[in-house]
Structure 1
Amino acid sequence: MSEATLVEARSFDFVPETERHGNVRSQVQFWFMVNATLITLYTGGVGPLNGLGLSWTIVAVVLGSVAGTLFQAFHGAQGPRMGLPQMIQSRVQFGSRGAVLPLFAAVVTQFGFAIFYIQTGAQAIVDVSGASQFSLFQIMMGLGAMVVAIIGYGLVLKVEKLASYATLLNLVMLTLAALIYLPIGTMIANPQFALLPFLAQFGASAIYQLAIAPIVSDYTRYLPARTSGAAVSAAVFCGTMLSAVWLEILGSALSIASPGVDLIQAVHELGNSFGFGLGTATMIISACACLITAAITFYSGSVAVLSALEAFRPIRSTAMLRGITIAVGGLFVIFASLSLSSSILTAFSGFLSLLGYFLIPWTAVNLTDYYFVRNGKYSITDIMRPDGGIYGMWGMAGLVSYGLGFVAMIPFFSSPLYTGPIAEILGKADVSFIVGLVVATVSYVVLTRNHDFAGELVTVRAAPLNTLN
């Protein structure tokens, strides 16, 4: 895709060097916006909800975000090097058909989160306008997100860049309002600490960042192959860290200052207290941010769908096919958003958190293979073959490691739908991601120790498309 092309044709397929463009700075703005939605506020309220003071909540937010973002950001370097979206790269570790398991979790998670973005954006519009047509605004948000996603990467990047300036200014103003109108000094001076709430906040912040991992390369693959992998990972890290930590800390302060009040309502009231139309501006900017982020989930969800289908039957990537996939997924999201009541949405949120657990051992296996086992030496030609080529249809080392990592996590799960026995002992603090990452990583290293990588490398070098050129 050239920059002059209106509608992107690429989806799951390789992006040749002639179609690469962009720079690292634009990636910082893009990833900043991915977390710059009011939904992020709720993550920062986990510690205070369980009695943790603001100062220790800030420590937990920062440490948890760093831990989760490190794994998320390392995926960024894979995009320019491989020229492929994130989840199809899993064929190396899991096989072309074995990769359908994490692909399925990625599809449902991406389209599932879109429901919440549409709900939140529509509610922000209702709060500002005073209108009662919540359903109409949901439909408008969904259709708008579909249009942006169908046009594709180029438009998403440009819209995110423009929105980042308004969002940054808005956050600065909200922070000033918080410093003026909230008893920040008093809250900071109260060193209320308890280990279990601290662990709960740490885990929530880390998992919130890890949830982004399945989409990272979708948006770094268009960068020129010569782009420094370290620079790309740093851009992803800094962008998502800044918005996540900023909004989570603001959310934690509002949770303590306004207990029992919905955080979005609390932000609106804080902005109104400051004046200058800040409350109204915040809701409008929030609605725009939700629409754009919903478009991102539509985009990545459709890529994952086509990646899974292509493992069973060769598919030629076209703008029409990508557009139809996004439209079908988008209409499903709009219908679900209109159908689900607020009480059901709470249960659905728990369902999505369980799905997120499926992606944690995938992250471990994928990164371990890329950085330590195969060291980024892949045959793109074989990855794109439905039969998996040298990687096969079923990658047993990846599947077994994934399974072991997931099973090891179950006692540590802590979600609205299920809490494991060890999580109960820990006061429902969720540290399952640590267990999953460690077990899946160690298992994969052990299970691949006897693989003939030297023989595989001969085939990789001979492949028309590979990461060695």
Structure 2
Amino acid sequence: MHTPPSSAVEGHSIDFIPENERTDKLSSQGPFWFLGNFTFFTMTIGFVGPSVGLSALWTILAGTLGIMFGTLFMAFHGSQGPHLGLPQMIQSRAQFGYRGVILALLATLFVFAGFNIVNLVLMMQGLKELFGFDPLTVALVVTVPATVLAILGHDWMHRSFKWALFLSIPLYGLVTLAVLMHWVPDTPLPLLAIGEVEAPPLGFNWTGFITQFAAAASYNIAYAPYVSDYSRYLPKNTHSGKLIAVVFLGASLSGAWMIAVGAWLADHLHATNVLVALSQVGNTVSSVMGIVVVGVTILVFLPVMAMNIYSAKLTTLTCVDSIKHIEPTRKARVLAIIFVILLQLGVSLGLQDSDKGLSVLGIYLVVMLYFLVPWTAVNLTDYFFVRKGRYAIPHFFMARDSLYGSWGLRGLASYAIGFVAMIPFFYIFDGVAQKEVFVGPLAKALGNIDVAWLVGLIVSGLTYFWLSRSIDLNHEERVIQDIEQTHPHYSTGDPGAAVMPMPVPLVPLVSETSIWR
């Protein structure tokens, strides 16, 4: 069980969090998600635009709009945590079924593990180039403390995020000041030049703008499966509108800031490895500042690595439990974490000699968006439009006789239909090699503009809403009321209570009659 003492190792994993153990405060969510994006990896999102012909200014605009768009979905998922007291992917059993949720779990595991794999590759390559460090040593040195944090769990991770924030604000404030004050030469540095090839002039093109927008949007949409994992310890009566606002502001402000710095580094310095670029920026301030900047950059990133491991662990346990029921013990948590880190280390070491790190990053961000968009559309449509926050919590853990069944055909069909509908609109471009990886026929007809993610959102969301007309919500409500009378702590509230207008009218998948509290 989750216990208050600071030395305690978290006891919960994929189980329900009782109200008396929800000791988090709303004020912690903004800084937590601010730091989640306040990292060197977010800067690399700003590398995408210049790699496809955008200037720094256009990259910053596209990246800011994209990060804000993606954060909307992430923030709305966050409101589910305190309302249900569950990890995000357990709640997805309502749409996909007890066993059918494995499809969504595999997609999210790809995201969680993929983040750390890309990060490890960037760190191994950067530190090898700068200091000649052995890649295996680098991987172990950064993975071990992150793993310990993930094992200690929720409370210690929140504390580590606070410590990291105190270190990262002066660090990235200094880097930003160096850029704004032109302390860094406004010409490509030899160390950062892309071979002997002169970089093409950068400006504006619609393909590049949409590509940068999609990369930034996918970055924060990818946080959607995380958010409830870290908001489920908030009290049940947490105001949904305020929670959505603080998550949105925290994640989008830091994301836009880091993308802007990355865009400048890529445009003016032709940076292809962010750690190398940060070292060069630090060296313009003092001879040792480059080492300090790189060292602190990696140190403050360890909690984010731990977050990826932690959520990947929850996904792994949910996947195993969906096949064969397991008890969510500490031992199970540790075994799941070991599986995750072995997967990450194995793949990262296999890729560390590749000279195509930026190519892999750009392609990964786009493909990640394709996998997650149908899931987020189905999940949010169910939560806000169909069931409006009313769920039978014990039934999430029932392999048999559950309200939600073993295979949620509506959710699975909606995901599949949405994903298939996206394929003709896919546009996957390798900006470093300047070649198209995959272009769907309709993307080509639109002039190589990627709108697949928008198609997936609309098709999956509308398909699920249409298929859900056959759900017997009256029967579900009777079951929920019986559970709440017997076990009041499982109450998810009155679906008609505390209705308020949407604070962000741009989100197409959330109704104005949702369960704001």
| TM-score in terms of structure 1 length | 0.92
Distance 2:33 2:229 in 1: 12
Does 2:456 correspond to 1:436? yes
Corresponding position of 1:282: 293
Distance 2:67 2:119 in 1: 21
Does 2:474 correspond to 1:454? yes
CA contact (8 A) 2:175 2:282 kept: yes
Distance 1:214 1:137 in 2: 28
Distance 1:9 1:117 in 2: 28
**Aligned residue runs from structure 1 range 268-417, under 5 A:** 268-275=279-286, 277-340=288-351, 341-343=353-355, 349=361, 350=363, 353-387=366-400, 389-415=402-428, 416=430, 417=437
Describe the SS at the equivalent of 2:438.
coil
CA contact (8 A) 2:218 2:366 kept: no
Q: Of residues 230, 237, 248 in structure 2, which corresponds to 1:219?
A: 230
**What's the CA shift for 1:277?**
4.5
Distance 2:326 2:33 in 1: 30
Corresponding position of 1:152: 153
Corresponding position of 1:187: none
Distance 1:421 1:42 in 2: 29
Distance 1:195 1:339 in 2: 35
- The one-letter amino acid of 2:370's match is Y
Unaligned stretches of 5+ in structure 2?
187-200, 431-436, 495-517
Corresponding position of 2:493: 468
- The one-letter amino acid of 1:440's match is S
**What's the CA shift for 1:420?**
2.3
1:429 to 1:9, Cα distance in 2 relative to 1, 3 A:
farther
CA contact (8 A) 1:12 1:84 kept: yes
Distance 1:353 1:440 in 2: 18
Corresponding position of 1:208: 219
CA contact (8 A) 1:311 1:387 kept: no
Per residue, is there more helix in 1 or in 2? Answer: 1
**What's the CA shift for 1:429?**
4.0
**What's the CA shift for 1:124?**
5.5
Distance 2:206 2:358 in 1: 26
CA contact (8 A) 1:381 1:466 kept: no
Distance 2:122 2:185 in 1: 27
Distance 1:45 1:352 in 2: 12
Distance 2:164 2:368 in 1: 30
**What's the CA shift for 1:281?**
2.7
Q: How many residues align?
A: 463
Q: Deviations over 1:384-436 (max 9, x none)?
A: 21236111111121111111111111122233553323334556543321111
Distance 2:45 2:359 in 1: 17
Distance 1:114 1:55 in 2: 29
CA contact (8 A) 2:135 2:349 kept: no
Describe the SS at the equivalent of 1:418.
strand
Does 2:252 correspond to 1:232? no
Distance 1:346 1:266 in 2: 14
**What's the CA shift for 1:275?**
3.0
Corresponding position of 2:169: 168
**What's the CA shift for 1:344?**
7.3
1:93 to 1:287, Cα distance in 2 relative to 1, 3 A:
same
Does 2:272 correspond to 1:252? no
Corresponding position of 2:513: none
Q: Deviations over 1:140-189 (max 9, x none)?
A: 211221111011111111001110121112121111100112589xxxxx
Describe the SS at the equivalent of 1:225.
coil
More displaced, 454-463 or 271-280?
271-280
Does 2:115 correspond to 1:103? no
Describe the SS at the equivalent of 2:150.
helix
**What's the CA shift for 1:332?**
2.7
Distance 2:222 2:268 in 1: 28
**What's the CA shift for 1:242?**
1.6
Does 2:84 correspond to 1:82? yes
Greater RCO, CA 8 A, separation 6+: 1
Distance 2:123 2:15 in 1: 32
1:27 to 1:272, Cα distance in 2 relative to 1, 3 A:
same
RMSD between aligned alpha carbons? 2.3
Q: Deviations over 1:8-40 (max 9, x none)?
A: 121111111121111122111111122222121
Distance 2:401 2:117 in 1: 33
Describe the SS at the equivalent of 1:342.
coil
CA contact (8 A) 1:109 1:352 kept: no
Corresponding position of 1:67: 69
| TM-score in terms of structure 2 length | 0.84
Distance 1:427 1:283 in 2: 40
- The one-letter amino acid of 1:207's match is S
